[in-house]
């Protein structure tokens, strides 16, 4: 049996995350990059959500590598079902771990806008 909202709140989760985890986690099954720095994500329950990456793309952060749409559009779902980008597309991130930018599926689900 899963843990309830009160359990997650007692572990210092915010209310959105506590509600999400108490209902069970979701897995990303597909991702599409949009021209406005949003991602259209499909989850294992058939639900689609729109996640806005634009606020994360700031100078002097790992996300600054996504500032150009050509880099942003190289998004994929990795083996852990996270949204991912390889900083250098010529280097496989399973070989060089610090070549990868990821956003966890839980974050995408909770903070993404439901579109279907």
Question: Is the pLDDT assigned to residue 97 strictly greater than 70?
Answer: no
Cα distance between residue 44 and residue 7, in whole Å: 25
Of 42 and 92, more confident: 42
Percent of the chain topping pLDDT 90: 85
Pairing state between β 100-103 and 48-52 = unpaired
Q: Cα–Cα distances in Å, from 63 out to 27, 37, 58, 72, 90? A: 22, 12, 6, 9, 18
Of 36 and 2, more confident: 36
Residue 57 has a pLDDT of 96
Contacts of 44 (CB under 8 A, 6+ apart): 26, 27, 28, 29
Which sign does the torsion angle of CA 45, 31, 82, 76 carry? positive
């Amino acid at each position: 049996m899963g843990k309830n909202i009160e359990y997650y709140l007692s572990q210092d989760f915010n209310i959105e995350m506590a509600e999400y985890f108490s209902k069970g986690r979701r897995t990303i099954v597909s991702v599409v990059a949009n021209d406005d720095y949003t991602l259209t994500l499909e989850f294992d329950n058939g639900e689609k959500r729109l996640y806005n990456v634009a606020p994360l793309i700031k100078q002097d952060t790992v996300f600054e590598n996504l500032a150009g749409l050509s880099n942003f559009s190289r998004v994929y779902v990795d083996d852990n079902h996270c949204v991912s980008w390889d900083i250098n597309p010529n280097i496989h991130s399973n070989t060089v771990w610090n070549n990868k930018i990821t956003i966890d599926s839980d974050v995408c689900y909770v903070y993404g806008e439901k579109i279907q």
